[in-house]
């Protein structure tokens, strides 16, 4: 009798351990953290704002990006040439109807003394912002600060005599 008891005991313990281990194996499935693929996709890393697409960047900050006259020419043809003419001679198709006439950007004697800051203001906020004709429209809602700087760089290439910074 006393020799059998340990066998029963150890069997019982062994069964209990086996059940315990089995139970653990089963229940441990539920609370496992989701696999990486099941988690929500991580947000993309923060990108610095593209200067060409920000309208409210202070102009002195944006000036760190070098103005691109070639890119400015493309915007000039779209946004300025109808009045100022494709080469800045003030002879765009709309110019005839305007009084005062659009400025000649090829007139270096007139344009060269005008500062970049002044031109920026005229283009961004319109002629009225500097006491000029309101027909010189504010283009700040169409052109980012960077694109305005690009247009200014292009205007500077039209001047005769040439613009010397
Ligand atoms: C709807 C016609 C029109 C468009 C479009 C236009 N302008 Fe003008 N712009 C004018 C007129 C008119 C004046 C003359 C204002 C005056 O002398 O009172 C002028 C004047 C200017 C001047 C000279 C300001 C001064 O002090 O004499 C600059 C620089 C200028 N425009 C730049 C631009 C640029 C750059 C664009 C395109 C991004 C543009 N303009 C688009 C009509 C236009």
Establish if 33 belongs to a structural domain.
Answer: yes
**Residue 84 Cβ contacting ligand 1 at under 6 Å:** yes
Q: Do residues 162 and 108 lie in contact, with contact meaning Cβ atoms separated by under 8 Å?
A: yes
What is the residue range of 85's domain?
59-158
Establish if 163 belongs to a structural domain.
Answer: no
Establish if 32 belongs to a structural domain.
Answer: yes
Asked whether residue 16 falls in the same domain as residue 83, the answer is: no
User: 48-97, pLDDT tens digit by residue?
Assistant: 555 544 445 455 554 557 999 999 999 999 999 999 999 999 999 999 99
User: 28-42, pLDDT tens digit by residue?
Assistant: 455 555 555 556 666
Nearest protein Cα to ligand 1, atom 2: 83
Ligand 1: distance of its center to the CA of 38 in Å? 57
Establish if 164 belongs to a structural domain.
Answer: no
**Predicted model pTM:** 0.70
The dihedral built from the CA positions of residue 57, 76, 103 and 156, taken in this order, carries a sign that is positive
Ligand 1: distance of its center to the CA of 134 in Å? 9
CA geometry: angle 118, 120, 121, nearest 5 deg: 65
Residue with tokens 């205007």: 155
* Domain count across the chain: 2
Establish if 24 belongs to a structural domain.
Answer: yes
Nearest protein Cα to ligand 1, atom 36: 80
Q: What is the pLDDT at residue 20? A: 44
Establish if 110 belongs to a structural domain.
Answer: yes
């Amino acid at each position: 009798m006393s020799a059998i008891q340990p066998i029963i005991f150890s069997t019982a313990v062994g069964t209990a351990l086996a059940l315990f281990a089995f139970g653990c194996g089963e229940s441990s499935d539920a609370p496992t953290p989701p696999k990486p693929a099941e988690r929500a996709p991580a947000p993309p890393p923060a990108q610095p704002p593209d200067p060409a697409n920000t309208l409210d960047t202070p102009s002195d900050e944006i000036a760190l990006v070098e103005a691109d006259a070639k890119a400015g020419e493309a915007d000039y043809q779209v946004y300025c040439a109808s009045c100022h003419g494709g080469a800045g001679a003030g002879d765009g198709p709309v110019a005839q109807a305007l009084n005062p006439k659009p400025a000649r950007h090829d007139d270096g004697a007139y344009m060269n003394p005008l500062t970049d800051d002044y031109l920026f203001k005229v283009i961004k906020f319109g002629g009225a912002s500097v006491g000029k004709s309101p027909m010189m429209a504010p283009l700040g809602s169409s052109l980012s600060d960077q694109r305005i700087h690009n247009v200014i760089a292009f205007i500077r290439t039209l001047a005769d005599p040439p613009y010397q910074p």
